Amino acid sequence: MKKFLVPALILIFCGVITVSVFPLSKFSDRIVKFSHKAHVVGQGVECETCHVYVKKQTFAGIPDIGICLGCHESKITESPEEEKIRQASSRHEDLKWERVFKLPSHVYFSHRRHVGIANIDCVKCHGEVWKMTEPLTSPLKTLVMEDCIECHKERNIVWDCVDCHR
């Protein structure tokens, strides 16, 4: 048992050092350091322009490279981030996005129902993402069940446990 203890401790130590020196949230070359502010404030792009399913499906969707190329197929700025889009396209790769907003597996939420039908603004649940100049690495707002219940009460919308917990 003792002969495995030292190697195990060395592996654990190396793992801790690796994670602290090379944090998992660092951006790789394939991740575009996207500025929501440049697109929303600077260009007037609406959330649903890139998150194309937000009003039609249960999920909002993340943009595929084709959506980005709709504007960035030709050079617009000197940004190396913009160039990553064209380089990925030339390699027939999609862009890599890191998912930030995640619900527990037992919770059901429909973007279509809330955004498409009830016209609830994205900022209500996601916070002021449109102000961000760097990609999110964690949610701006942490939602808890009481937030949902309060919103339903404010709008005089009925709710039942089985509506969201499946």
Q: pLDDT tens digit string along 91-101?
A: 999 988 888 98
Q: What is the mean pLDDT of residues 92-113?
A: 91
Confidence band for 144, pLDDT divided at 50, 70 and 90: very high
CA distances to 109, 118, 141 from 65, rounded to whole Å, are 26, 29, 27
| Distance, C-alpha 81 to centroid of its chain | 17
Tell me whether residue 123 is in a domain: yes
Does 17 fall in a domain? no
Asked if residue 108 is part of any domain, the answer here is yes
Whether 68 and 1 have beta carbons less than 8 Å apart is answered as no
How large is the average pLDDT for residues 128-138? 93
Residue 15: pLDDT band (50, 70, 90) is very low
How many domains are there within the chain? Answer: 1
Tell me, yes or no, whether 145 lies in a domain.
Answer: yes
pLDDT exceeds 80 at position 46: yes
Task: Copy the structure tokens of residue 24.
Answer: 């998992």
Between 40 and 166, name the one with better pLDDT.
40
Distance (Å, rounded) from C-alpha 8 to C-alpha 69?
48
DSSP string, 10-68: HHHHHHHHHHHHS-TTS--TTS----HHHHHHHH---HHHHSTTTTTSSS-----HHHH
Average pLDDT over residues 73-86: 93
Residue labelled with tokens 């801790």: 16
Domain contains 69: yes
Q: What is the mean pLDDT of residues 39-49?
A: 94
Residue 69's domain spans which residues?
26-164
Identify the residue whose tokens are 């944090």: 23
**Percent of the chain scoring above 90 in pLDDT:** 66
User: How large is the average pLDDT for residues 86-90?
Assistant: 95
Residue 7 lies in a domain: no
Lowest mean per-residue pLDDT among 2-16, 29-43, 120-134 = 2-16
Of 25-29, 48-52, 114-118, 139-143, minimum mean pLDDT range: 25-29
* Three-class DSSP category at 129: helix
DSSP 165: B
**Does residue 20 belong to any structural domain of this protein?**
no
pLDDT-derived band at 32 (thresholds 50, 70, 90) equals: confident
Residue 6 lies in a domain: no
